[in-house]
Each structure stands twice: as C-alpha cells, then as structure tokens.
Structure 1
Amino acid sequence: MEKDQEDIYRNYLSVVVLYREACDNFLEDLHGTLGVFGELGDEYAFVEQRTRALQTTCEELLQEQDRLTHLADALAERLAYFNHLEPIAKLFNSPGDDICLRPEFIGMLQTLDECIEYMQQHVSYRDSELYLMRFRQCMTRGMTLIKMYAVSTIKAVGYEIVYSLVQKTNDTSTNFGKQTNLFYVKFRAIAPTIKTLTGQLEKRCQGHKEYQALYQDILSAYFQTRQQLLSPVISRKIQQLGPSGGELAQNGCAYMMTLCSDEFNLFYNMFPSGEEDLYAYLDELTSYLYDHLRPRIIHENRIETLSELCGIFQVYIMQDDYQTGDEREGGHRLMFGNLIRNVLEDAQGKLVFRAQSFIHQDIQSYHPKPEDFELSKSIEASLLQMSELTDDTPHVTRRWYPALQNTLWILSKLYRCVQTGVFEDLAQEAVSLCSESLKRASDIITNTKSALDGQLFLIKHLLVLKEQLAPFEAELVHTGKELSFFPTTGALSSLQQNRSFFFNPNTLIGLAQSGMPRIVEISLDSRREVNFKLKDVCEEFITDCVSTAVDPLTVFMIKLSTMRPVGESSPDENGSPRAKTLSQEDVQSTVEQFKESAEERIRFVLRKLREYVNDYKMEQILIRPIELNILENYKNFYHTVTTESNGGKISTLDEPLPSVEYMSMWISQWKEEQSP
C-alpha cells in the first residue's frame, strides 16, 4: 500500500518534472525569441533611419527638379516672344501680293502686338531693344502689305469696271440703271476682305502716324477710284434733269441723295472709320449739282421760284433730324443736309436780296391807283381772296389793298425758307412799311371821300394784317441800337437856365461828362404796332360816329350853357336880351332831331361796315361802343333837362322825356331790323 502510495507521488513528481522541463524549454525559447525581436528592432530602426534619409534626399531632389522645371518654363516663356521673330519675318518677307490673305496672317499680327507690348514692358532684357525694333519693322511691313493689297485691289476693280463699261458702250440694251449697279456689285464683292484688313490697320493707327498715313493712302485710292468712275455719270445725269427751277432742284437732290446714300453704305461696308474724309468726298460729288444750280440761282429773279428752291433744300436738311434707327448703317447715318447747305445758303441769300427789293419797291414805294380803292360787294370775292393769297403772283385780286397783299405774299414766301432771325427782321420791316402805306392810303380816301371811309379802310386792312400775321410763329421784333442825344439836350438846357456858370471850368467839365450822346437799345414790335394803330383808329372812328349822331344834343347843351339863370339875364352882343328859358318845344325838337340823327348815322355806319369789313363779329364790336356812348350822351342830356326844368333854364315840361331805357330799347329794336 505504501508502495502504491509512493508510485502515485513518483508519478506526480515525474509529471511535475516534465512540466518544469517544458517550462524551462519555453522560457529558453522565449529568451531566444526576445533576442531575435531585439535584433529585428535594431535592424528596423536602421532601415527606418536610412529610409528617412532617402526620403529627405528624394524630396530635395524633387524640389530641385521643380525649381529647374519652373526655371526652364520661365525661360521658355520669355524666349517664346523672342522666338516669334523668325517665323513672322519669314512670313512677311515671303514673295507674293496676297500674303495678307493667308489664314495665319491676322494671327501673326496679333502675335506681333503681344511681342511689341512685351518688349516695351521688359526693356531690361538682353537685346530687347533690338528685338523691339525688328518687331516694329515687321509690323510696319505687315501694315504696308495690307495697304498695298487694298490699293491694288481697289484700283484693279476700278479698271475692271471701266473696261466693262467700254465694252458695253455700244450695247443699247444696257441702260443707265444697269451701268450704275455695275459700280457697286464688284466693290461689294471685295468689301468683306477689305474691311477685315483695313480694320486691322485702323485699330493700330492710334499713336502711330505712319500707320495713319497708310490708312489715308487706302482711303485716297478708294475715293479717287470712285470719283473717276462716278464723275462722268453724275455730270451726264445732271444734264438730263429738268430744265430749271424747282423741278431741277427736286430731281437733282433726289438723285444726289440716293447716290450719296449708296456711297455712304458702300464705304462703311469696306472701312471701319474715316467719316471726315467720306464727307469731303461726298461734298466733291455734290459739287457737280452745286455748280449746275448756282448760276441759275444767281440769275433767278422770281421770288416764288427762289422760295420753292429753299423749301426743297430745307426738306432734305430737316430729314437729318427725323431719320429713324432703321436708316442707320452700323451706327452711322448720312447727314445729306450738310452736303447741300451751301446751295441752300446761296438760294436764301438771293431770296433775301429779292425780298428786300420787293419790300421797298412794292410796299414802301407803292403808289396807289384809283382802282385800288374800289370795293367789291360780293362775299364770295372776299372768300376768294383767302384762297388766292398763296398763288405765285401777289396781284390776284383787288379786294385787299395791294400793299397789304404784297406784304402777306412776301411773308408767305419767306416763312420757313430763311433763318428765323432773318425772317423776323424782314417781316418787321415789311409790316411796318405796310402799316405806313395803309395810313397813307387812308389819308387819300379821307381827302377824296370822307373821314369815315378812310377810317373803315384802315380798320379793315389792319384787321386783315393782324389776322394774317397770327399763323407766323415768329417774333416780329427788331432790336437795334441808336445814338441818343437826350443827355446832351438836357445838359445844354440846364446850362442855359444857369448862364452864370457858363464860363466856369467845372461846369464845362460836367457838361462834357454828362452831356455826351449815348448808345441805347431800341426794340420795334410790329404786332404791337399794328395793335396800337388799330386801337387808335377804332377809337377815332367811334368818337367821330358818336359826335355826329349826338350833334343835336351837343348843340342843345351848348345853347343851354350860354343861357343865364332866371334873374341874371343880360343883352347879347347885338344888344338883344337873351332868352331866359328854353321851351318844351325846343326840348322835344332836340329829341326828335337826335333820334333822326342817331338812326341815320348808325344805319349809315352799318352799311359802311358791311361794305368794308363784312364781318358780323367785328361789326358788333364797333357798333356796341358807339351805341353805349350815344346812350351816355343822351343820359347826360336827360339829367340836365330834368334838372333845369325845375326852376332852371328850361320851362316846366308837360310831357316827360323818353327815358334812357326806352332809348336803349329803341336803338336795339331798329338795329336788329338792319341785321342781315
């Protein structure tokens, strides 16, 4: 039993020993592994150290590579501008006349611009000034190539057109319109190419006079070629226009406006700028019409023809202000009015000269004839006058006085045909002279017929003048200067009143200072002058009519004023005693005479008004003040008689006088019976 027990311990011991040996082996392996790991860590640290060193070295190499790459790129970029010189010079020096038509030509010009700008910005670079000079030489060469091609092409097209015209000279089927179209078709065919090239030249002209000279050479060649083509055609066409006068001007302006419009559009189809040179060229073309019209204008003496010419020319000038956007080509528009302004000025100058002569001969110096004062009693003749005023001849009717008729006619021919200031001066002069002529004619009628006829004649024609001046939108005011001697006369009058100071030196010095004549401004308004004259003659007319109508009342009031009141009677110059009172019969007789005189006078005035004025409204305007003044005189008569009949200079009235209201109704009643 003990043996079995010992076997158990021995077995246990052997197992423990076995485990211990296994643990010792494990520990030994563990120490070996630790040693291996230690060696591995050392080797890893060594490798890591070398890797980091390699990484640092690579990064430095990459940075150096980047630096060198950037340096190379920068050098290549800078050298690229220098390297452009050779291919550009090679292209521009190539043989041939159509170098500028190559696709790369315009690109080369843009590259040249960049190279020149770069060289100007980097003048410190080596040989930059040399390269800048050579680049500019290449640019000048390129611009010269454009100029040579454009000039040769334009002239070649011109020669081709001339050759075509020579071949078609004997061809009767080729009309004028087809020949004219030939001048534009071939030029429009080359227009896109020419405009592209001239655009390249024109945008480089600023700051470069040599390029501007090249561009001007192209324009000169173009205008010279076009003028050589068109001059014979224009001359022949102008010779085929109307004989003279308005027809020639109308047709000539229409033809030249069409031609100039076509030339204007063709120019801007070929060139980007050059408006000043274009208008100089168009002015040369219109000079053919001007040279044809000017001698006819100088020798033309008919005012209506000159007025018609001015109207025609001004229509074209005013069209420049009313052109719409559709009429513009590429932002430009033709100002045709500026091209014919010199013709208009010649026509206006001759029109003003003839108008001045007409005003002095036919208005100021007009001598009236007996038939000028004859009245037409038909209303139709008066209406006919209004429609005939604008005819070519001013003497179309005798309803109005010829001087007035001439004034309105010349104003109608000058209105809107000359400058506003010139028209106002001439109109003011014509209206003033017309007013004076009417006044002289009125005085003649007063001497030959009666004062009433003279006044009505003047009223009628001043009314016509005033009404006919209304449509003229102008101030008929003349402003000028004149020498006033009022200070001189005032100083001399003062010196004459104080003769004691005559030999005083201070007085003479004061006279020299304050007595010098002065220049003063004067202003003459013809409209106001007409209104004042019309007002004065109307007041004079009303006063004369009233004085004649109330003459019995005036005689009665004078007679009454010469009488003395009761108790103060005294003999008159013949020694006869004055009457103390006036009887009722005297008063009644005066009233009857007044009614008869007023009715007769107003009837007569109404008849005269219808003969001269023939205007119901104006008739009422003149008759109404006459009626009121007559009633006012009768009112004074009525109150005087009423007052004096109560123990005064008039005996007591058995029957009352007609009242003022009765007289007013009586006048109105029979006046209405006279109404037409």
Structure 2
Amino acid sequence: MYEDSSWYSFVPELQHQQPASGPRSSGHRRKQSLLQQPNNPADAADAAKPLPPLFEDKEDSNWPPEPTLSRRVKSYSDLYDLIKTQLSSHAPGKKRKRKRSARSWEALAFPGSVTVSLPAEEDGFDDAVDKELLRASQQEYLLYHDELAMTERHLGTLIADTNSALKTLESLCQSFRAVDEQTSSFQVQCDGLLTEKTRLEALAESVGRDLQYYTYLDSATRRLTAPGAGRLVEGGSFAEILSTLDSCIEFMTQHSSYRDAESYLARYQALLTKALHLLEVGFVNHLNKVSAEISRQIAATQSESARHALAYGRFEEMVLESYSLIPNLQTVVRNAYDQDGQPSSALNADIYANTAINLFHSYWAARERDLKTVFQHDLDVLRAEAKESIETASRNFVKQCFERSYNEASLFKSIFSIDAHYSAEPNSAFAALKSQRAVLTGANVAPIATNLQLVLQSSDLETICNLVGWISHEYLLPEYEEDNETPFAGRCRELAARLLAEHLWTFTDAFFEAEIAKSITKAVMPPDAFQIGPVTNGDAASNAFPPIKRALELLVLFDQSMPKERCQRNSPVIFKIIKESIASVQRAEARIRSVTTTSTSKTNAGYSNTDPDLFTVKNLLLLKNELLTLEIGDVRGAGGAGAGAGADGASVSSRVWDAVLHRPQDLIGGLLSSFGNLGYGLGAYMPSIPGSSLWAGTPGGVVGAGQGGDSNDAGEQLDGLLRQSIVAFTRRWAGLLNEARGVVAGKLGGKNVGKVERELDEMLERVFGGQPEVVGKLKEAIQIEAEAFVRAAGEKRIHVTRV
C-alpha cells in the first residue's frame, strides 16, 4: 500500500511558472520576483498590483556603466595610453565586505520568525502587500514541508505495523515450539508406523512378484493347450509367452527351496517344449506351402537365371511373408545361438538348440526338394565337361558351388538371423549345419568334395595337383588385404580352406602314395637303368637313376600344389618319397656291387662303367639338393620329433665342414677336411648337410656312418648314407692312385698312373658333366686322401725300422 503514489497527488505543479509581467517603474530597478504566484484568483489579482519603488544605493547596482565617447588616437602609443585610461576608469570599485553573520534568509523563515527578523517597515509600506510577498516567497518550501510531514507519518505507521507483525510471529513461534515439545513422542510413533508400513508394502510387493510365477501356470496352460493354439506362433504374443516361460523356469531353478518348486519347474519346461513344438509345426507347414509352389515353378522353366531367381529371390520373399512366424522363429534360434552360431549360455539354451536343429533339418529338407533339379543339372554339366577336360570342368564346378554356397548362406541368414562360421565347438550351429550331406548349406563342403572326387578318380596325379594348387592360389592367397575383403571372398576363402584340409589334401596324399609305390618302391628297372650315362642338355638329373628322377618330379609337384607350411612340417608324403628313394638307391647300389664283384667280364650288362659309390653320391646329392631348393628341412615320419624347417644352405654347410676340419689328426678327418671345401663350390650338386656333429659317435672317421639313428628321420638317414658314400669313393680311388704309383708296400710297379687318372677323369666327367667345379673338388679330395695315406704309411715304416 506504500507504493501507491495517490496520497501526494494533490501537490500542485510548480515547474516552469512564468513570472508576472508588468511595466518597470522608472524609479525602481529591482528584478522581477522568481517566486511562484498563488493559485487563488483573488490573490493573483492582488499580486498584479504594482509594488512601491525600492530605494537602493547606486553603487550596489549591477547595471553596466554609461558609455562614453573617447577621442580618436593619433598614434600607436596614444592608443596604448587610451586603453589604459579606459581600463582604469571602468574598473569596479571595491565592494563592501559583509559579515556572514549579518546575512539572513528571510525568505526561508517561517511566518512567526519573519516578523521578528524583518527590519522595521518604513512609512508608506502596505502591510497586506508585505504578507502577500512573504507567503509567495515561502510557498514552495511549505509544500516540501508538508510532503515530508506526510512521509514521516506513513513511515511511522509502517514501523508500527512491522513491530506488530514481529510480535505476532514471535507469539506463533513460541506456540509452535510448545506444540512440538508436546507432540515429539507422537511423532516418534508416527515414524515407526511409517517404517512398518513401508516394510509391509515391500513384503507385499515381493510376495505378489513371487506369486505371479505361480499364477502364470494356469494362464499359459490354457493358451498353449487350446484348440487353436497353433495360431499363436503367427502372432506377436508368442515371443512374450516364451519370455515369460523362461522367467518362470529361471525363478523356479533359483528358488528350488520354495514350495512345489520342482513340480512347477517340470510343468513350465513341458509348456516351453509344447510352445516350441507348435513353432516347428507352423514352420514346417509354411515351408511345405512355399516349397510346393517354388518346386513346381523351377521344374517348369529351363532358364538358369529364372531358376536362380526362383530358388533364392522368390523363395526368400514367400518365406518371409508370414506375419510374425519368422520373427518368432528368429527369437527361438537366437536363444540357442549367438549371431555367429556359437552356443548360448542361457539356462534353457539346450531346449532351444534342440528345436533350432529340428528347424534346420526341416528347412534343408525343403531346400533339397526344391533344388534337386538344379543340382542334377550341375552334375550333368560337370560330367559332360569332364570328358573334354577334367581340370577345367572341376574348376568351373568349384566356382559354381562356392557361389551357390554363398547364396545359400545369405538366404539362411535372412531367415534364421545367424551366420554360422567355422567353429570347433560341437554344440555350435556350424556343427549342426555341417552334418547335412545332401545339399550345400553354406557351412558344409562334403557335396563339393564328393562330386569332385568321383570325377578326379579317373584322372592322373598331375591333374589333381593342378586343381589343388589352383584352389590354394585362387582363394587362400588373395592379392588384397583382409580389411578390404568382400563377404563373398571371405566365404570362398573359408570354404576353400575346409575343402582342401578336410577332403582334397587327403585325397591327393593317397594319390601320391600310390604313385610312390608304383614308380619308386615297386618299379622294375632294366639293366641299362643302373648305368650312369653322360649329362644331356646341361640337366644334372638327366643321367640320374629313374626312381630318383621320379622322386624329384614328385617333390616339385607336391611343393607346387601344397602350401609351404604343409611341405615343411612332418609331411608324410615327403617322408615317404625320401624314404623310398633312399631304399631304391640302396637296392641299386647293392645290385651294382654284387654284379661287379661276381662278373668275370667287365662288359657285363652295362654295369662295368658304373661305380657303386659314385652312383649313390650322384643320386643322393640330387635328392638332397632338391630338398634344400624347395626349403624342405624337416623330413620326419608321424612319430618323429619336429625339427626346424628350411635352414639356410650356406650356413648349414659352413657348420658341417667346420666340424669336419676340427679333426685334422684323423686320417678320415683329414680326407674330409679337404673334401669339406667341396661344399662351397659344388653348387646344386653338393648341398649343405645338416648336423654339427657330423662324425660324432663313429670312431676312426665314418665307420658305420648311416647306420642306426632315428628311423623316423629320413633326412638324417639321407645325410648318413651320403657321407658314407663320399668317404668310400674318395678312399677307394686314393688307394688306386697310390697303387698305380707304386707306393703301396708289396705292389711296386703297378698300373700306369696316367691310365688310372684318365679313367677317373672320364668317370667324373660323365657323371658330373658340365660341372668342372664338382669334378675339381672331388679330384682334389682324392689327392689329399692319397697323400694322407702315403704319410701314414711312411710314419708306419719309420716306426717299424726303429723297432
């Protein structure tokens, strides 16, 4: 109410009042009064009357001096004097100093004090005029005084009201404080009642929540056993039923101590099985309806594109047109498996997995009926093309099957909402799909392998190796990075890896073993096959033993068709090739040695020009060199321990011959010390021989080298036989040279040295034609061995003479 400004609206406006105008008296020069005239018309009329003249001293007047006319100056100096004179004449006089105490403010005085302070009136002044003048001069200040007085009254009223309100509030506070003190015990009781109420509400809610797991049994039983319960699988409430049943089964499992929990658990599981069975029946009926239409349309057309569109595009469209059946189906499958087909860890996952497997079987049975015509057509095309080129027909069939498998996997994913990739888990969706043998499921490759093996069964080993190598290079060794791999390329890579690892590699190994037995183990050699002829066309293997030639071809063929990891680590095929090749060389050497020993004619059956040791060295060196060229360093059987694969040839050779050079005092060691340098200059014919302890365990050099050892390590056996043959060859020809030179005791004047050397040169040139380094190193090793034998014989004679 104090903000209302209407209480001072009666104050008159005093701004910009014009002073009363009137003629100025000639005898009175006082200015017009600036005070406001009264609002009363009568007072205004009185105020309009002229005031009597006031007598003032002239010297106190503020009027300017009267102007005077100065005389005209004649020069600049006169002008200066004139200005000085004028300034001195017009300079104001000194004013009288008035005391501050004498100064009075008559206009601000109240009426009572004005009369006292004003000077005595002179004769001739009107008393009414004087009062009027005083009232006019004090009017503005009186108004301000009234306003201040009114404000003071209002402020006093406000202070009084505030004091009254404070007293009332204080009284209320005291009343409330008294009530609070009196009701504290009541408040404690109320708090206890509220706490009890909250506990009872929580208990009632818990009981009600637990009770709903019991009460749902009747509702679920009625819905799932009703005559029209089969229609539930096509509605949106079916997923809610499954979810509720899962919750009830989980509750009963977790609270097995509750009353009748086991009974309710069994009944809920039975209801869940019933619901899933309804889903199976509904899905099978839907599939049969779609399959009947699709199979009829596929059989009626002869166009490949039309069959593809019907088998995949139209089939998917018709299957997905099923209201909520397919979403309910996907819910069941996802309760059993995750998106990648891995088994779920949920409580009822085994029940859902059993239903999912039944759904898969029903689906693939329908697909097999629909695609029977398509598959038969593909097989007919494969057989027809195989009559012209088995390899081309097989490649086209693999490409077609991979594409069809990708389409089947995409269709399966759109229907069942999972993408089953390879998994070793026996309970995964991959394991369930892999068991299907009749139709491609996107996860199984058995139909591809079965049809390929039927066609390849009548082909040769080279064709099979070409197909296997093509699959490896086409799908397993992509030129792009895995980050940029398309889904189709990823699916083909997975299918190719499984097709090779699970079927074709085993199939190829069987062909290799059959070829090894045919061309190496059981090969029948004519007599001229044991003779080493001259090298032709610079090919070092041109004069090799025929089984060794075939072994080299098989090694190259196996390496080209298989990945390096399979060739370098305990490959049974590589082991069998090396093992059977060594056995064939040993049989040939024994035959050559026996024929040469028992023969009376040096021209018998072509064996006379064949040195058995050099025959073995030649063929085993070719075999060993091929292993190192192909970087095959571990040649062990199934029971052998794994070894490092593909060692560097130069470093291994250095270790071998350094170990030999550490035995210079040994005769055999001295011989092989000179022969050790042979490993650096023989090139492809003297490969490095693994094993740092080359002659360890064989006293006197290499006596018994190649005997014993690990029977499952074909590489070690090859190295031992190679060492043994080299030592035997160099020792025997060193003895022949010494005999021809007549340095052997009791055999003075033997054969012509030139004839023996010429025979050795011809033999080495025939065996190692076009390789002068090999020939030179062998001759150098023989010469060093002969000199070592002479030195040993001389030391023996000196010892006998001294004795």
> Same-fold call, TM > 0.5?
yes
RMSD between superposed Cα atoms in Å = 5.4
| Partner Cα distance (2:774, 2:345) in 1 | 76
1:427 aligns with 2:578: yes
Q: Residue by residue, what CA displacement relative to the aligned partner does 1:85-104 show, whole Å, maximum 9, x if unpaired?
A: 57656765594755345444
**In the alignment, which residue of structure 2 is the partner of 1:225?**
366
1:526 aligns with 2:681: no
Deviations 1:103-157 (A, max 9, x none): 4443443333333444556678788778667655553443334333433344444
* Aligned counterpart, 2:510: 349
Contact 1:439–1:458 (8 Å) recurs in 2: no
Relative to 1, partners in 2 of residues 1:256 and 1:535: Cα closer, same or farther, differing over 3 Å?
farther
Tell me if structure 1 keeps the 8 A contact 2:249–2:269. Answer: yes
Q: Which stretches in structure 2 are left out of the alignment for 5+ residues?
A: 1-174, 338-343, 419-427, 641-707, 797-803
Give the counterpart letter for 1:218 in structure 2. Answer: L
Q: Which moved more, 1:157-166 or 1:231-240?
A: 157-166
Q: Which residue of 2 aligns with 1:463?
A: 621
- Separation in 1, partners of 2:792, 2:179: 149
Aligned to 1:624: 780
Aligned residue pair count: 500
- Residue equivalent to 1:503: none
Does structure 1 residue 174 correspond to structure 2 residue 305? yes
Aligned-pair identity (%): 17
Equivalent residues of 1:359, 1:430 under 8 A apart: yes
Please report how far the alpha carbon of residue 541 of structure 1 lies from its aligned counterpart in structure 2 after TM superposition.
Answer: 2.7
Q: For residue 405 of structure 1, what is the amino acid of its counterpart?
A: K
Deviates most, 156-165 or 118-127: 118-127
- State how far apart, in whole Å, the 2-side matches of 1:58 and 1:522 are: 94
The CA deviation at 1:526 is 3.3
- Matched residue type, 1:375: P
- SS of equivalent residue, structure 2 residue 518: helix
Q: Partner of 1:99 in structure 2?
A: 232
Q: Say which of 405, 408, 417 aligns to 2:552.
A: 408
Letter in 1 for 2:436: Y
Q: 2:763 and 2:360 mapped to 1: Cα distance? A: 76
Letter in 1 for 2:331: T
Letter in 1 for 2:404: L
Matched, 1:144 2:270: no
Give yes or no for the alignment of 1:437 onto 2:588: yes
Q: State how 1:80-479 maps to structure 2 within 5 Å.
A: 80-82=212-214, 84=216, 95=228, 99-100=232-233, 102-119=235-252, 135-136=268-269, 138-167=271-300, 169-170=301-302, 172=303, 174=305, 177-178=308-309, 181-182=312-313, 185-186=316-317, 189=320, 194-200=329-335, 212-241=353-382, 242-243=385-386, 245-269=390-414, 270=416, 272=418, 273-282=428-437, 285=440, 286=445, 288-296=447-455, 298-300=457-459, 302-305=460-463, 307-308=465-466, 334=494, 338=498, 341-342=502-503, 344-362=505-523, 365-369=524-528, 374-376=533-535, 381-383=537-539, 399-413=543-557, 420-437=571-588, 440=591, 447-448=602-603, 454=611, 459-470=617-628, 471=630, 472-475=632-635
TM-score, normalized by length of structure 1? 0.58
Looking at structure 1, the residues matched to 555 and 257 of structure 2 have their Cα atoms a distance apart, in angstroms, of: 78
Q: Taking structure 1 as reference, are residues 103 and 539 closer, same or farther at Cα in structure 2, changes over 3 Å only?
A: same
Label 1:160 to 1:616 Cα distance change in 2 as closer, same or farther (>3 A): same
Cα distance between partner residues in 2 of 1:129 and 1:108:
20
Match of 1:25 in 2: none
Equivalent residues of 1:458, 1:537 under 8 A apart: no
**In structure 2, C-alpha distance between the alignment counterparts of 1:235 and 1:84, rounded to whole Å:** 53
Query: Residue 649 of structure 2 corresponds to which residue in structure 1?
Result: none
Asked whether the 8 Å contact 2:552–2:626 carries over to 1, the reply is yes
Helix, strand or coil: the match of 1:447?
coil
What does 1:424-573 correspond to in 2, within 5 Å? 424-437=575-588, 440=591, 447-448=602-603, 454=611, 459-470=617-628, 471=630, 472-475=632-635, 523=711, 525-548=717-740, 550-551=741-742
- For the residues of structure 2 that align with 1:124 and 1:453, how far apart are their CA atoms? 93
* Cα distance in 1 between the residues matched to 2:788 and 2:336: 93
**Equivalent pair of 2:368/2:438 in contact (CA under 8 Å):** no
Separation in structure 2 between the aligned mates of residue 292 and residue 179 of structure 1, nearest angstrom: 25
How far apart are residue 636 of structure 1 and its match? Answer: 10
**Whose Rg is larger?**
2
Judged with a 3 Å threshold, the aligned counterparts in structure 2 of structure 1 residues 442 and 467 are, in CA distance, closer, same or farther, namely: farther
What amino acid is aligned across from residue 475 of structure 1 in structure 2?
V
Q: Distance in 2 between matches of 1:55 and 1:633?
A: 124
User: What is the SS of the residue equivalent to 2:538?
Assistant: helix
With over 3 angstroms needed to count, the CA separation of the structure-2 counterparts of 1:265 and 1:85, relative to structure 1, is same
1:470-512 Cα deviation digits (max 9, x unpaired): 34444267999xxxxxxxxxxxxxxxxxxxxxxxxxxxxxxxx
Amino acid at match of 2:518: S
How many Å apart are 1:221 and its aligned residue?
A: 0.7
Helix, strand or coil at the partner of 1:281: coil
Deviation at 1:231, TM superposition (A): 3.5
- How far the C-alpha of 1:428 sits from its partner, in A, is 0.9
What TM-score, normalized to structure 2? 0.50
Q: Is the 8 A contact 1:403 1:437 kept in 2?
A: no
Q: Which runs of 5+ in 1 are unaligned?
A: 1-42, 387-397, 481-519, 560-589, 641-676
Deviations 1:288-309 (A, max 9, x none): 5455444555555x44345556
C-alpha distance in structure 2 between counterparts of 1:535 and 1:414, whole Å: 32
Deviation at 1:356, TM superposition (A): 0.8
Distance 1:56 1:373 in 2: 119
**Secondary structure, aligned partner of 2:386:** coil
Q: Conserved in 2, the CA contact under 8 Å of 1:438 and 1:461?
A: no
Structure 1 residue 542 displacement after superposition:
3.4
Give the C-alpha shift of residue 278 in structure 1. 0.3
